[in-house]
Amino acid sequence: MSNEKLIPVSVLLSGRTYRIRVDAELEEQLRKTVKLVNDKVIEYKTAFPGKDMQDYTAMVMLWYATQPVAKASEILEIQKTESDLGKMQELLDKTLSHSGDLSAGADLTSTK
């Protein structure tokens, strides 16, 4: 990685801004990783209230370090898939609930 290919990037990690230089090709992966870490910090803050940010960051870094390197991108993909599935489930529930209202109304109006 030569300095010529590096671009400056600012990331917000655990509530602090860091300005780093990264290979342009790796910027997207870096941002996804930062999002994963920040999401995990929020998860730990919810699960273990009363700690300070350094504790949450340390917990997340230990969690992240124990994940197989090849699995990091899979974790991001799984989280996106879970989110997409949750949105689809909400849409299905809403549609089924709405169609149930329509069929109930149709039953009331079709009595002779």
Q: Are 43 and 30 in contact (CB under 8 A)?
A: no
- Output the pTM of the full model: 0.57
Domain ranges for the chain, please list them: 72-112
**Burial grade of 77 (CB within 10 A; 0-12, 13-18, 19 or more):** exposed
pLDDT in tens, 21-75: 999 999 998 998 899 899 999 999 999 999 999 999 999 999 888 877 656 667 7
